[in-house]
Chain A
Amino acid sequence: MSDGPEGLRLFACDGFAQARGLEAGQKLTDARAVAPDLATYIHEPETDAGALLALARWAERFSPWVAEDGCDGLLFDIAGVAHLFGGEPMLLADMRQRFRALGFTVKTGVAPFIGAAFALARFGGDLPQSDDVRANLAPLGVAALRIGEKDIVTLRRLGLKTIGSLYEIPRESLARRFREIRGGSSADVLKRLDEALGLADEPLSPLRPLAAFSVRHAVADPMRSPNMLEEAANDLIHRLCRKLARAGRGAMRLSFAFFRADGTRAVIGLGMSRPSQDPLHMMRLLRPKLDMLDAGFGIDGIHLEAEETGPAESEEPGFMEGVAPFHHDFDLAALSDRLSNRAAEAGLAQLSAVSSHMPERAESFTAFSATATQMQERENIRPTTLLSHAEPISVMASVPDGPPLRFTWRRMAHKVARCEGPERIEPEWWREREGATARPRDYYIVEDEEGRRFWLYREGLYGEAQQPCPQWFMHGLFA
């Protein structure tokens, strides 16, 4: 039941309730009068929508093109899919059986157009169906046309109870008739009728765009052994690679969907730094992840899809060689993929220079496949490693704004033996937000008596008005 402006009403009811004369939209008090023992549940549209979406995802096993239809239906585009299941009747039987196994009451309808399929599924009942859509729809009530409640009532009053009776009415008069009643809605009846009969196009928006490169594998007996899964995945990968090779494309992102027998599914994603159509490489990426896959009660279907593809590149070194040293190194790309898919945070990275003179901003890790940037080399000496955060240190200097004499870093005292500096680095005011308190830094390269070298800086200047005392920080280490 749902709570609306007109009080509590039944939102939907099951077969038993319908048998006792209850119907959706009825007031709860009326319903209670008819059936005092009625069991009711609050209607939660969001939860229902979420459940329907999950069901749609699960139902991708039947067709990659699934869409939600209203709040209680699913639309499948089964063009080119049915033969995988042994024809449309077999597909429908399989669908009904699997949905029933999940505890749903299910009605199905197949038609060349969405409107017709809607009508047949919801209102078709067990009527025999032929190939002729017009004939199939003719005996159905006008309510099957997905039109408004008021239009249905109007049509009924006119004696037009079935869709078939609408066929005989001239289109002009149908349009005129409904325009006279309520402008705008007439288009609805005519449009819906045209859509059901395939006279007007109606787009189906699936849950997500159909991948151009996808392959699936369904088995009767759920697979549990890792070897079988690996073999099936290997087979799929080879099929996908053949598809890719024919199209001259390479996969950048792969997504494996493993459908478990209990209706859940596991997804494994693989990323590649360059378009690949190499089944061995893909298999090497997949294998460690496959080991971690929880097969549950067994896997009865696998769907592999190249979510992102790019033009395949030949392995021949092109004229780009030298400009981008790693760009054409396929082995390196393969290694990078293996690393990023298993262990490293983001595969292989290159250290590239960024146009900034703040030491911590002047470098960034970029994916290695990017074209190598030619960097101007800095004149000033820079440390071998840079601490991710400058660490405060206590420093003794001969004069307040002079070079350091002693300092303590990480609880170790160091006596400065040699020192070079300062190198002043001013804050980049254009990056600072309003009211930020970035201060100039004076960097020193110091060597302690042991020969260890450090890069430290004093932040701020002495004698600045309304500023705290300058502070020392450790920022980098030299070899």
Chain B
Amino acid sequence: MRGPAHPRAAEDVSVAETSQSGVALIARLKARIARITGSASLKAPAQLWNFGLPEIDAHLADGNLGIGAVHEVAPFSWPDMPAAIGFAASLGVLRQEKARKPVLWLRLCAQTREMGELYGAGLHQLGLARGRLLTARVKKPGDLLWALEDALRSGVASLVIADAPSAASDLTISRRLQLAAAAGLTPAILLSQKPMKGGTAGATRWQVRAAPSLPPVDDLLAPGNPAWALSLTRCRGGKPGEWSVEWHHATHRFSLVSRLRDRTIAGFDEKSGEGISIPTRPALRAIERRA
């Protein structure tokens, strides 16, 4: 908007020019926008929803996935769907830590036939408290969108995870869901079978692929903690990135793992030679030794 410059704004800019710091200017402007739009409360610790990993969080807008926003999660290919479900569940665990309200999981009947029913014991072992998880099954995709919008707008859940019908990639529908999420201050995770294409109103778009796990220390032949290759392909206000992570269900934490392909530690800065501290685990050390 062009017009007579606001005296206060002009002052801000001049301050920024003298301090020679564009970053400070942006931070200051963002703070002002937050004050004006009233979204300052989103910065409260209870509203922070991120990975707890600086490497990934740095790519997110304000280091936060975003509470009143829609997030899209899809598998790389069809067989990775369980990994995508697990990733959504782990984000639900992180959300449950901050919010008392239950996590609501809306499922399409067609999808339950394909991938099976949610299994409470297994989700519990991933860390998603069964006593604070509610599900509903819906037959028609249209009804699912309706239910999703209602659930988001009513703000009764801390997070709504939903099987995304193909219509969810429609810009109008996605915009509507985004508005509902913002109105109810409830985040949504849309789990679609195929990555959504084109522009949607989603805040982030993730693709998940199952990755070989690091074996537990007591049994080198057994599968270890769930491991996923994550790819953040779109991020509003942030930047895309790719990571390999492991989910620790006992501590409810993600950790970066080395890519077995090239044996480099993710987050390792080759120029400076400094590695970012990763949680050292016996198993990880074991495999490094073997290599």
Residues of chain B with a CB closer than 8 A to A449's CB: 212
The reply to whether A387 and B116 contact each other, CB–CB distance below 8 Å, is yes
Complex CA distance for A350 and B87, rounded to whole angstroms: 21
Number of interface residues of A (CB under 8 A): 57
In the complex, how many residues of chain B place their beta carbon closer than 8 angstroms to a beta carbon of chain A?
Answer: 62
- Bound form: Cα–Cα A339–B154 in Å: 12
- Does A289 belong to the interface (CB within 8 Å)? no
B8-16, B27-35, B62-70, B214-222: which lies at the interface: B214-222
**Known contacts A451-B210, A479-B82, A479-B87: A385-B136 contact under CB 8 Å:** no
Q: Contact check, A447 vs B117: say whether CB atoms are below 8 A apart.
A: no
Closest Cβ neighbor of A364 among chain B residues: B120
By the criterion CB–CB under 8 Å, are A343 and B222 in contact?
A: no
- Which residues of B are found within 8 Å of A342, using beta-carbon distances? 143, 146-147
Contact call A479/B85, Cβ cutoff below 8 A = yes
Taken residue by residue from 133 to 152, chain B's Cβ proximity to chain A (1 for < 8 Å, 0 otherwise) reads as 11111111001101100110
Interface residue? A375 (CB, 8 A): yes
In chain A, residues 368-387, which have Cβ atoms closer than 8 Å to a Cβ of chain B?
Answer: 368, 372, 374-375, 377-378, 381-387
A345 nearest CB across to chain B (Å): 5
Which of B82, B146, B213 lies at the interface centre, i.e. has the most chain A CB atoms within 10 A of its CB? Answer: B82
Given contact pairs A331-B156, A335-B150, A381-B125, A325 touches B132 in the complex (Cβ within 8 A): yes
- With both chains docked as a complex, state the minimum distance between the C-beta of B149 and any C-beta of chain A, in angstroms: 11
Bound state CA distance, A88 and B195, in angstroms? 70
* Stretch of A35-43, A127-135, A297-305, A417-425 that contacts chain B: A417-425
Quick one: which of A343, A346, A368, A374 has the most chain B CB within 10 A? Answer: A343
Residue B79 lies at the interface, judged by CB distance under 8 Å to chain A = yes
B137 and A344 contacting across the interface, CB-CB below 8 Å: yes
**Nearest Cβ on chain B to A310's Cβ, whole angstroms:** 21
Contact, CB under 8 Å: A363 / B119: yes
Known A479-B87, A479-B226; judge A382-B140 contact (CB<8 A): no
Interface string of B222-259 (1 = CB under 8 A from A): 11101100000000000000000001000000000000
A177 at interface by CB-CB < 8 Å: no
CB pair A338 B150 closer than 8 Å = yes
CB-defined contacts of A386 to chain B, threshold 8 Å:
116-117, 119, 122
A383-B119 in contact given A342-B146, A418-B223 (Cβ < 8 Å): yes
How near does chain A come to B158, taking the closest CB pair, in angstroms? 11
Contact of A419 with B123 at beta-carbon distance under 8 Å, contacts A335-B151, A342-B146 already known: no
Docked-complex contact B113 and A384, CB < 8 angstroms? no
Asked if B131 is at the interface (CB within 8 A of a chain A CB), the reply is: yes
Residues of A within 8 A of B (CB): 325-326, 329, 331-332, 334-336, 338-339, 342-353, 359, 362-363, 365, 368, 372, 374-375, 377-378, 381-388, 412, 417-420, 445-447, 449-453, 476-479
Q: Can you list 7 residue pairs at the A/B interface with Cβ under 8 Å? A: A338-B150, A339-B151, A344-B137, A344-B147, A350-B133, A351-B123, A385-B115
Ranked 10 nearest A-B pairs via Cβ: A479-B86, A351-B120, A343-B143, A385-B116, A382-B121, A477-B82, A420-B222, A451-B210, A447-B223, A387-B116
Residues of B with Cβ closer than 8 Å to A? 79-83, 85-87, 89-90, 102, 104, 109, 112-113, 115-126, 130-140, 143-144, 146-147, 150-151, 154-157, 209-213, 215, 219, 221-224, 226-227, 247
